[in-house]
């Protein structure tokens, strides 16, 4: 028979010993940790989660998803076990605050960085527009399309609800900037169907001192002043007018930058024909382009060409195009991006980011 009158000393295990044992095996949680937890009580605006702490942790409804949640049951179920992010230290009641949203947020940025590295084209529906452009969601993150990178004739307001193909311009988690381009996605799609040496018909949409911008089926290419004719030209205005229909040859495709370089100079049967007899240039365009492609192929294969042919290709492709592409296009195309990004992105993206994420 067991002696029920044993003292605490005889047992060798007191309440203090038990408390010390609990402390010994108690988990220590810190903000930023990701821990497993089990849902054991769902409340109207949140849920209590067992993560092994002395007191149940709490997740508010606004921290349950990167997307809008109206009811906790949309995300969590009783007795469900999943990962939670520890958002804050214990409050005065010893309770930790948790977040699922932060985990989704971190993984979403990781995913868009991967998509940017792959130069992927993504699709997303426009859910709002503002003064500077349009707003979309990519992997749950709020992204911005500057107006200068929206390639459509529709008013911006009519884009709401429309799904657009997009390329990444800027992915910066630290500054909370996710900027995309509809124009670059369309240019890439068009460029996949174009080839260097191909003759295309376009329309003059703009004339600058350094050249003319030609619309080719919805994308813009640059006909640099140095590629208009073998003869010297003081200004493109002396050759072209806005809305002129022109026949040009593609001499460079830069898919990464979304740039197309064009030439009429390489289509001239005789130097200066673009100035003296443009119709002849257009009539002989395919014939001259075929010669150009032959010369280009021969050069790539290291075949010795006649002096005339050997000299033409380097001048067209290697010397003058960099001036057209590297120096002039950034001024024409990219000037507007910093304004769109600096002014609009904070308004577009940072308004809805909770204080927990900002900190």
Tens digit of pLDDT for each residue in 204-261? 999 999 999 999 877 889 999 999 999 999 999 999 999 999 999 999 988 767 789 9
- Domain chopping of the chain, boundaries: 14-99, 117-186, 194-336
Give me the residue label for tokens 């006909």: 223
Does the pLDDT value for residue 339 go beyond 80?
no
| CATH number belonging to domain 194-336 | 2.40.50.140
What's the pLDDT at 208? 94
pLDDT level of residue 281 (50, 70, 90 thresholds): very high
Same fold, 117-186 and 194-336: yes
**For 167-206, how does the pLDDT look when each residue is reduced to its tens digit (9 = 90+)?**
999 999 999 999 999 988 888 888 888 889 999 999 999 9
What's the pLDDT at 14? 61
What's the pLDDT at 88? 84
Mean pLDDT, range 335-352, rounded to an integer: 38
Q: Look up residue 268 and give its two tokens.
A: 């001239």
**For 109-126, how does the pLDDT look when each residue is reduced to its tens digit (9 = 90+)?**
999 999 999 989 999 999
Does the pLDDT value for residue 308 go beyond 80?
no
**For 63-76, how does the pLDDT look when each residue is reduced to its tens digit (9 = 90+)?**
999 988 999 999 99
4 burial class (0-12, 13-18, 19+ CB within 10 angstroms)? exposed
Beta pairing class for 57-60 and 81-88: unpaired
Q: What CATH architecture applies to the domain 117-186?
A: Beta Barrel (2.40)
When comparing pLDDT for 298 and 265, which is higher? 265
What's the pLDDT at 15? 56
Q: Look up residue 46 and give its two tokens.
A: 């949140």
Longest dimension (CA), the chain: 124
How many CB atoms sit inside 10 A of residue 251's CB?
26
Tell me the pLDDT of the chain averaged across its residues: 80
pLDDT level of residue 89 (50, 70, 90 thresholds): confident
What's the pLDDT at 359? 34
What's the pLDDT at 266? 94
The answer to whether domain 14-99 has CATH 2.40.50.140 is yes
- In 3D, which of 39, 37, 64, 42 has the Cα closest to residue 53? 37
**For 13-55, how does the pLDDT look when each residue is reduced to its tens digit (9 = 90+)?**
565 654 554 455 555 788 889 999 999 899 999 999 999 877 8
What's the pLDDT at 3? 52
**For 118-164, how does the pLDDT look when each residue is reduced to its tens digit (9 = 90+)?**
989 999 999 999 989 999 999 999 999 999 899 887 888 889 999 99
What's the pLDDT at 4? 52
DSSP E strand boundaries for 130-198? 133-138, 141-146, 163-172, 177-181
């Amino acid at each position: 028979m067991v002696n029920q009158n044993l003292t605490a000393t005889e047992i060798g295990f007191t309440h203090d010993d038990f408390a010390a044992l609990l402390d010994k095996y108690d988990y220590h949680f810190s903000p930023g940790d990701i821990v497993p937890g089990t849902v054991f009580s769902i409340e109207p605006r949140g849920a209590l989660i067992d993560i092994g702490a002395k007191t149940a942790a709490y997740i508010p409804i606004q921290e349950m998803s990167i997307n809008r949640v109206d009811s906790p049951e949309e995300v969590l179920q009783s007795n469900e076990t999943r990962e939670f992010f520890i958002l804050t230290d214990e409050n005065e009641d010893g309770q930790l605050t948790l977040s699922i949203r932060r985990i989704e947020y971190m993984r979403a940025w990781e995913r868009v960085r991967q998509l940017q590295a792959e130069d992927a084209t993504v699709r997303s529906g426009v859910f709002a527009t503002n003064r500077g452009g349009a707003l979309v969601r990519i992997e749950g993150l709020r992204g911005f399309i500057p107006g200068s990178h929206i390639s459509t004739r529709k008013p911006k307001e009519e884009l709401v609800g429309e799904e657009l193909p997009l390329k990444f311009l800027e992915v910066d988690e630290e500054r909370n900037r996710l900027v995309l381009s509809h124009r670059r996605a369309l240019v890439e799609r068009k460029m996949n169907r174009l080839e260097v040496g191909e003759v295309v018909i376009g329309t003059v949409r703009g004339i600058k001192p350094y050249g003319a911008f030609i619309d080719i089926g919805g994308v813009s290419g640059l006909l640099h002043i140095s590629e208009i004719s073998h003869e010297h030209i003081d200004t493109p205005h002396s050759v072209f007018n806005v809305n002129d229909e022109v026949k040009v040859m593609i001499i460079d495709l830069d898919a990464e930058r979304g740039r197309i370089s064009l030439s009429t100079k390489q289509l001239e049967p005789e130097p200066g024909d673009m100035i003296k007899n443009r119709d002849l240039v257009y009539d002989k365009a395919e014939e001259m382009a075929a010669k150009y492609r032959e010369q280009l192929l021969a050069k790539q294969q290291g075949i010795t060409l006649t002096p005339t042919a050997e000299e033409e290709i380097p001048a067209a492709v290697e010397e003058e195009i960099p001036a057209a592409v590297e120096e002039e296009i950034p001024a024409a195309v990219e000037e507007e991006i910093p304004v769109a990004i600096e002014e609009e992105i904070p308004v577009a993206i940072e308004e809805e980011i909770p204080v927990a994420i900002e900190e």
